[in-house]
């Protein structure tokens, strides 16, 4: 076996795993969850770095604040993206905890009958996904308005 | 109808287009057979039962992993078809992928009934009583035909080829939920591993594409719950109550049927 077998796997890898096109809503939320998770991780590192300057004394802290302030609108946009990420990652994370730790929203094991509709992706799960999305978008808009207000635009 | 197939001959990969006359009742597998019979006998693909029960003909049809023999052209609602080998697998030739790793993953979760006392499985006077309600707790996951389609849909398999995958984890839960099984502790170290159950983040794509309604994603979430219960609360297998051991009924004393008298009549 295997001499003329392709060692490379067909259509695999990170980008593939983040590409939910053609699949179910859960896979789309998986992609969003991963991306928002990475954004939050990067933010956490930056945040620790920022707080570290606070420990260095008032001068260093003033400088850091000035540096962030010099970013102008970009600081606010960054914060807005981070707020959205935190909202989505948190809310969707709660849904996943219900699924994974408590086995909820999945339905019971059933006798499969054609046409097969997996109960784990059925009504309850979809309601949870869309309710989360609605709440997150509403709060995200609110956060955006709050940030704009801080800029004195509205 | 235009059919576009991803080909691979051991060295190079390419897309090849075919023009095929199709009937609306044709399945994708019928189309492939037509191509192989009339146009290009070098095209390689697997098939056996042609009725969705052997799991040989898994491939990616118009971007979605499916069984070719269960996908009707009329259901696709497109005027051309794109057929590729299953994602995340190594390709041997054209649409034939290497299932060795997949089968080994299945084997690694010990997909059989384990008893602490193995003699119970062989000893004659004992049998296990499984009620219909108990049966319902695992029979769904027993429907798996090992087509491997779910691994092609799984985003975790795409980044971690060693991840056990929905099929193996689903089968692990099938046996753990089985009231006759006592192998939870034997399996837990395989499942509760860095390539095991926690790599699943519930994208649900496996359940979405499974052609037998197995819903492996559901089984995996239940499996996580069982493992957490065991690790945190030291509770073992609350999925189902253990099966009762009952004395086997003695064989009925029915009279033996008379020996079959076979006479061959008629010429050859
Ligand atoms: S769980 Fe479904 S998709 Fe996966 S191997 Fe079994 S039958 Fe195929
Ligand atoms: S040929 Fe057996 S499942 Fe398609």
Our answer on whether the CB atom of B67 is closer than 6 Å to any ligand 2 atom is: yes
C-alpha B158: how far from its chain's center? 19
Our answer on whether the CB atom of B145 is closer than 6 Å to any ligand 1 atom is: yes
Residue B68: name the closest of B58, B76, B77, B78 by CA: B58
Could you write out the DSSP letters of every residue in B10-79? SS-EEEEEEE----TT-BHHHHHHHIIIII-TT-----SSSSSSS---EEEETTEEEEGGG-BHHHH--S
**pLDDT for the residue A1:** 43
Which residues on neighbouring strands pair with residue B128, listed in sequence order? B245
Contacts of B193 (CB under 8 A, 6+ apart): none
Beta carbons of A24 and B208 less than 8 Å apart: yes
The answer to whether residue A35 neighbours chain B at the CB level (below 8 Å) is no
Q: What is chain B's pLDDT, residue by residue, as a tens digit (268 residues)? A: 999 999 999 999 999 999 999 998 999 999 999 999 999 999 999 999 999 999 999 999 999 999 999 999 999 989 899 999 999 999 999 999 999 999 999 999 999 999 888 887 777 677 888 899 999 999 999 999 999 999 999 999 999 999 999 999 999 999 999 998 989 999 999 999 999 999 999 999 999 999 999 999 999 999 999 999 999 988 776 556 778 888 877 667 767 777 777 676 665 5
In tens, the pLDDT along A94-104 reads 999 999 999 99
Residue B212: name the closest of B66, B63, B45 by CA: B66
Which of A21, A22, A27 is the closest to B204 by Cβ? A27
Which of A10, A27, A102 is the closest to B205 by Cβ? A27
User: B190-212 burial, b for 16+ CB within 10 Å, e for fewer?
Assistant: bbbeebbbebbbbbbbbbbbbbb
**Consecutive H or E run containing B128:** strand B126-129
C-alpha span between A118 and A135 (Å, rounded)? 26
* CB atoms closer than 10 angstroms to residue A59: 9
Is the separation of the CB atoms in B130 and B179 below 8 Å?
yes
pLDDT at residue A2 greater than cutoff 60 = no
C-alpha span between B116 and B118 (Å, rounded)? 6
**pLDDT for the residue B57:** 97
Residues of chain A neighbouring B176 (CB-CB closer than 8 A) = none
Residue B163: name the closest of B176, B179, B177, B151 by CA: B151
For residue A95, the chain B residue with the least C-alpha distance is B202
């Amino acid at each position: 076996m295997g001499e003329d077998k392709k060692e490379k796997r067909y259509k695999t890898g990170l980008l593939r795993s983040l590409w939910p096109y053609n699949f179910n809503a859960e896979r789309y939320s998986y992609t969003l969850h991963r991306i928002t998770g990475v954004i939050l991780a990067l933010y956490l590192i930056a945040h620790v770095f920022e707080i570290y300057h606070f420990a260095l004394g008032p001068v260093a802290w003033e400088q850091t604040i000035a540096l962030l302030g010099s970013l102008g609108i970009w600081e606010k946009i960054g914060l807005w993206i981070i707020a959205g990420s935190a909202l989505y990652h948190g809310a969707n994370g709660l849904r996943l905890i219900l699924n994974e730790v408590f086995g909820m929203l999945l339905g019971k094991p059933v006798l499969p009958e054609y046409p097969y509709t997996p109960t784990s992706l059925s009504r309850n799960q979809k309601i949870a996904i869309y309710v989360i999305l609605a709440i997150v978008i509403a709060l995200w808009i609110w956060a955006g308005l709050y940030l704009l207000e801080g800029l004195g635009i509205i | 109808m235009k059919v576009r197939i991803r080909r691979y001959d051991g060295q190079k990969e390419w897309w090849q287009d075919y023009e095929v006359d199709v009937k609306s009742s044709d399945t994708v597998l019928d189309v492939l057979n037509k191509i192989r019979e009339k146009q290009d006998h070098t095209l390689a693909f697997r098939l056996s039962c042609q009725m969705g029960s052997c799991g040989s003909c898994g491939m990616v049809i118009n971007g979605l992993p499916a069984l070719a023999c269960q996908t009707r052209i009329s259901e696709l609602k497109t005027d051309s078809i794109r057929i590729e080998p299953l994602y995340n697998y190594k390709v041997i030739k054209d649409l034939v992928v290497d299932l060795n790793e997949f089968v080994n993953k299945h084997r690694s979760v010990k997909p059989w009934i384990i008893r602490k006392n193995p003699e119970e499985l062989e000893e004659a006077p004992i049998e296990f009583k499984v009620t219909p309600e108990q049966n319902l707790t695992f029979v769904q996951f027993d429907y798996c035909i090992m087509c491997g389609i779910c691994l092609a849909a799984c985003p975790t398999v795409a980044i971690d080829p060693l991840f056990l995958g929905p099929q193996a984890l689903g089968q692990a839960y099938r046996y753990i939920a089985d009231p006759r099984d006592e192998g939870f502790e034997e399996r837990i170290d395989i499942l509760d591993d860095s390539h095991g159950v926690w790599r699943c983040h519930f994208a649900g794509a496996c359940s979405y594409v499974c052609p037998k309604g197995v819903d492996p994603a559901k089984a995996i979430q239940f499996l996580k719950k069982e493992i957490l219960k065991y690790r945190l609360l030291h509770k073992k297998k609350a999925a189902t109550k253990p099966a009762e051991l009952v004395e086997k009924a003695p064989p009925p004393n029915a009279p033996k049927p008379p020996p079959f008298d076979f006479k061959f009549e008629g010429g050859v």
